[in-house]
């Protein structure tokens, strides 16, 4: 392993740029965590401490797992591994133990670091032997040792898939994101997503590479509106990127306390569709900000961006995913396998300069990564599984997922398209539509809908709304209207199955 | 509002939209287009009709149109009662 001051990484890479920031501006703030202000100099010390610790362990040159919630210690450990060009698998801490074990084995991680909760200041790692005895001699999977960072997909449709990212792709993305959202020294960026989430490539890693300051949201307090309001108020944040849930929490809290956040200049909405009543309240909350809808996936990273024009987008009741980011090539492919030119509907295929070179488990790549020669040359496209509509003005809107289609009374219906229609109602804050088996209809749709507390919405008025846009079979058979927030996954997306389960339990 | 209309409305609200006040359900609201009564709902509604109004439905022609609205269900009950009284 290399010495951290004479890293083998080329000039301009994320770890090198971090070191350069710490050398030039050691007293500048790098991280804000609870009441602590950690400067670039402090963080470099922590990284150096982690580096020495790793050296003492004399680990072989192989990937390691890091199982940690977001904290300065976890960030310094990741940076230390990056300095050493050691591959890291960074899964969600909320995954089940069997799934974690399987992921660590797939990545060839025989050592897993989890941060000691008893000594928050000093980095101490518990080394967990992840591999059973019979696996110790197994070679590392190809791609695992070359990757800088291995993230995982959310696993909402099965076991999470490992997505290796190499330094050139990470650097390409962080350079784009920094320039696009003007992240430089003097910029404070809120980091809301958990550490394992791809959004951190912007929140944390772009910011540290470019000398900005990251205001870290404690994952354990991510749903506390008062904590979030305090954090944004105290730290004068300039850039916020989050799933719609954060904005809803802030809007609800702001109604009580008449808060608004003057310092925020860029608001990025990502990860999920934002309801219109949330969107329309954003300018009041962030009076000086520009608003963006950003579309991407762990596999490709950000690929489309749309600058939101609140009045224009509200009028059309649909927020487009926007235009491909510079260097991104996108295709709309019909169900028959033809590339759709001009207006039309199909699956979105995307090739980005930031994308992974494929899942770690190669057998998974065949159906998802496809080589195609377009007018820009031959590139590897990622089949997103998202069904999109390209409109006559070139705007692209999400219509559903290839895997969200169900048959109800013989009619093919996208549960996401149903959710989208329900979200277009003014009083709807959140929605989960789930297909449940039915002897007669094949499937029936159940919807759990969170409405505005002050509103009058009931299932009858919502049915009237749905009937204007949806096929009859697509109107949910059961509609539960609630006023409490729907359960969320660790990444802040709506947990559909649990939303329905909670309602069923209540009825019992 | 006839007695039947009220009874039909109460049944529909209780079974299919318990969060809705009975008075909000209009007699001509399209229960099929609104997805209130689907195939499973249709079976429940037929059983309820037989039990509540003592209508022998085995030889009656029932289509989804019978359950199009509260008004349609009411008309069907009237029609069946006439048929029973005529025999």
Average model confidence (pLDDT) across chain A: 86
Tell me which residue in B17, B33, B40 faces A467 most closely, judged by beta carbons.
B33
CA distance A440 to chain B (A): 7
Interface test with A, best of B21, B31, B39 (most A CBs within 10 A): B39
pLDDT band at A131 (very low <50, low <70, confident <90, very high): low
First to last CA, chain A: 59
CA distance A416 to chain B (A): 18
- Predicted pLDDT of residue A4: 42
Contact between A477 and B41 using a beta-carbon 8 Å cutoff: yes
Q: What is the pLDDT of residues A29-67, one digit of tens each?
A: 999 999 899 999 999 999 999 898 888 888 888 899 999
CA atoms of A103 and A98, how far apart (whole Å)? 9
pLDDT band at A5 (very low <50, low <70, confident <90, very high): very low
Whether A376 has a pLDDT exceeding 80, the answer reads: no
Q: Are strands A301-307 and A239-242 parallel, antiparallel or unpaired?
A: unpaired
- 């971090």: which residue's tokens? A18
The 3-class SS string of A169-212 reads HHHHHHHHHHHHCCCCCCCEEEECCCCCCCCHHHHHHHHHHCCC
| Residues forming beta bridges with residue A369, ordered by sequence position | A382
CA atoms of A487 and A505, how far apart (whole Å)? 14
Q: What is the pLDDT of residues A166-195, one digit of tens each?
A: 999 999 999 999 999 999 999 999 999 999
Q: What is the pLDDT of residues A193-245, one digit of tens each?
A: 999 999 999 999 999 999 999 999 998 888 888 899 999 999 999 999 998 88
In this structure, the dihedral spanned by the alpha carbons of residues B76, B80, B86 and B87, taken in order and rounded to 10 degrees, is 160
- 């003007």: which residue's tokens? A182
- Predicted pLDDT of residue A7: 37
CA atoms of A131 and A210, how far apart (whole Å)? 37
* Closest chain B residue by Cα to residue A438: B40
Tell me which residue in A444, A458, A479 faces B38 most closely, judged by beta carbons.
A444
Contact (Cβ atoms closer than 8 angstroms) between residue A30 and residue A154: no
- Predicted pLDDT of residue A100: 87
Least confident of A150-159, A245-254, A280-289, A331-340: A150-159
Contact (Cβ atoms closer than 8 angstroms) between residue A126 and residue A66: no
Which CATH number is A39-166 given?
Answer: 3.40.50.980
Q: Report the number of distinct structural domains present in chain B.
A: 1
Whether A371 has a pLDDT exceeding 50, the answer reads: yes
Whether A349 has a pLDDT exceeding 60, the answer reads: yes
Residues of A in contact with B29 (CB under 8 A): 460
**Segment A73-83 mean pLDDT:** 94
CA atoms of A239 and A367, how far apart (whole Å)? 36
- Predicted pLDDT of residue A299: 93
Contact between A467 and B17 using a beta-carbon 8 Å cutoff: no
Q: What is the pLDDT of residues A377-436, one digit of tens each?
A: 889 999 998 999 998 888 899 887 777 778 787 677 888 889 988 998 989 999 999 998
- Predicted pLDDT of residue A304: 95
Whether A133 has a pLDDT exceeding 60, the answer reads: no
First to last CA, chain B: 28
Whether A139 has a pLDDT exceeding 60, the answer reads: no
- Predicted pLDDT of residue A462: 95
Name the B residues in 40-69 with CB < 8 Å from any A CB: 40-41, 43
CB count in 10 Å sphere of residue A326: 11
- Predicted pLDDT of residue A110: 85
State the helix-helix crossing angle for A415-423 and A459-469, rounded to 10 degrees: 110
Whether A124 has a pLDDT exceeding 90, the answer reads: no
- Predicted pLDDT of residue A241: 97
The domain limits of chain A are: 39-166, 409-507
**Segment B18-41 mean pLDDT:** 89
H or E, element range at A83: helix A72-83
* CATH number assigned to the domain comprising residue B31: 1.10.1200.10
Whether B32 has a pLDDT exceeding 90, the answer reads: no
CA atoms of A361 and A364, how far apart (whole Å)? 6
- Predicted pLDDT of residue A89: 95
- Predicted pLDDT of residue A12: 81
- Predicted pLDDT of residue A143: 64
**Segment A474-494 mean pLDDT:** 87
Whether A134 has a pLDDT exceeding 70, the answer reads: no
CB count in 10 Å sphere of residue A488: 18
Against a cut of 0.80, is the pTM above it? no
Q: Which residues of A167-198 are buried (b: 16+ CB within 10 A; e: fewer)?
A: bebbbbbbbbbbebbebeeebbbbbbbbbbbb
Contact (Cβ atoms closer than 8 angstroms) between residue A383 and residue A347: yes
| Residue from B13, B41, B35 nearest A475 by CA | B35
Tell me which residue in A441, A460, A475 faces B24 most closely, judged by beta carbons.
A460
Least confident of A252-266, A336-350, A385-399, A494-508: A494-508
Q: What is the pLDDT of residues A301-339, one digit of tens each?
A: 999 999 999 888 877 777 899 999 999 999 999 888 889
Q: What is the DSSP letter of A454?
A: T
CA atoms of A240 and A289, how far apart (whole Å)? 10
The residue range of the domain holding B74 is: 3-86
Report residue B58 as tokens: 């085995």
Interface test with A, best of B14, B24, B34, B45 (most A CBs within 10 A): B34
pLDDT band at A507 (very low <50, low <70, confident <90, very high): low
Percent share of chain A, pLDDT over 70: 88
Whether A261 has a pLDDT exceeding 80, the answer reads: yes
Classified as helix, coil or strand, A39 is strand
Q: Is B23 on the interface with A (CB under 8 A)?
A: no
**Segment A287-310 mean pLDDT:** 94
CA atoms of A261 and A256, how far apart (whole Å)? 15
**Segment B9-30 mean pLDDT:** 93
Which CATH number is A409-507 given?
Answer: 3.30.300.30
Residues of B in contact with A459 (CB under 8 A): 17, 19-20
Q: What is the DSSP letter of A456?
A: -
| Residue from A294, A347, A353, A291 nearest A323 by CA | A294
């Amino acid at each position: 392993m290399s010495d951290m001051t004479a890293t083998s990484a080329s000039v301009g890479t994320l770890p090198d740029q971090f070191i350069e920031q710490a050398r030039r501006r050691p007293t500048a703030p790098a991280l804000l965590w609870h009441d602590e202000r950690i400067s670039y100099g402090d963080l470099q010390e922590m990284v150096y401490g982690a580096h020495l610790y790793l050296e003492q362990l004399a680990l072989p040159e192989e990937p390691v797992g890091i199982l940690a919630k977001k904290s300065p210690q976890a960030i310094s450990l990741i940076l230390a591994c990056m300095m050493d060009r050691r591959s890291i698998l960074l899964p969600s801490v909320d995954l089940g133990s069997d799934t974690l074990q399987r992921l660590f084995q797939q990545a060839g991680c025989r050592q897993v670091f989890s941060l000691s909760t008893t000594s928050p200041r000093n980095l101490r790692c518990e080394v967990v032997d992840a591999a059973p005895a019979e696996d110790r001699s197994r070679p590392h999977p190809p791609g695992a040792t070359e990757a800088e960072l291995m993230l995982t997909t959310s696993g909402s449709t099965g076991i999470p898939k490992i997505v290796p990212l190499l330094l050139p792709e990470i650097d390409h993305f962080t350079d784009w994101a920094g320039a696009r959202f003007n992240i430089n020294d003097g910029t404070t960026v809120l980091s809301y997503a958990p550490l394992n989430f791809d959004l951190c490539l912007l929140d944390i890693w772009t910011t540290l590479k470019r000398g900005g300051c990251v205001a870290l949201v404690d994952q354990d307090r991510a749903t506390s509106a008062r904590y979030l309001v305090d954090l944004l108020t105290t730290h004068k944040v300039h850039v916020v990127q989050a799933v719609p849930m954060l904005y809803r929490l802030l809007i609800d809290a702001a109604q009580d306390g008449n808060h608004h956040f003057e310092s925020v200049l860029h608001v990025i909405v990502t990860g999920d569709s934002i309801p219109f009543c949330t969107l329309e309240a954003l300018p009041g909350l962030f009076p000086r900000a520009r608003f963006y809808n950003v579309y991407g996936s762990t596999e490709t990273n950000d690929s489309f961006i749309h600058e939101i024009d609140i009045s224009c987008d509200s009028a059309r009741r649909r927020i487009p995913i926007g235009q491909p980011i510079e260097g991104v090539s996108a295709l709309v492919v019909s169900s028959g396998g033809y590339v759709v030119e001009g207006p039309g509907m199909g699956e979105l295929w995307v090739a980005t300069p930031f994308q992974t070179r494929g899942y770690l488990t190669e057998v998974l790549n065949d159906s998802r990564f496809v080589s195609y020669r377009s007018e820009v040359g031959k590139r590897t496209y990622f089949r997103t599984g998202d069904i999109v509509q390209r409109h006559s003005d070139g705007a692209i809107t999400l219509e559903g997922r290839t895997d969200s289609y169900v048959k109800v009374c013989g009619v093919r219906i996208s549960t996401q398209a149903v959710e989208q229609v329900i979200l277009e109602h003014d009083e709807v804050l959140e929605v989960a539509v789930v297909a449940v088996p039915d002897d007669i209809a094949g499937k029936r749709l159940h919807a759990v809908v969170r409405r505005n507390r002050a509103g009058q919405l009931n299932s009858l008025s919502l049915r009237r709304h749905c009937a204007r846009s949806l096929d009859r079979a697509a109107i949910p058979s059961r509609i539960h209207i609630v006023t409490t927030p729907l359960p969320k996954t660790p990444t802040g997306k709506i947990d559909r199955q649990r939303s329905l389960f909670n309602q069923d339990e209540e009825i019992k | 509002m006839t007695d039947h209309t009220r009874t039909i409305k109460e049944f529909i609200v209780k079974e299919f939209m318990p969060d809705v006040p009975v008075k909000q359900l209009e007699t001509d609201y399209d229960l099929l287009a609104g997805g209130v009564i689907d195939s499973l709902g249709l079976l429940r509604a037929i059983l309820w009709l037989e039990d509540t109004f003592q209508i022998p439905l085995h030889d009656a022609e029932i289509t989804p149109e019978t359950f199009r609205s509260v008004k349609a269900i009411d008309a069907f009950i009237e029609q069946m009662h006439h048929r029973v009284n005529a025999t």
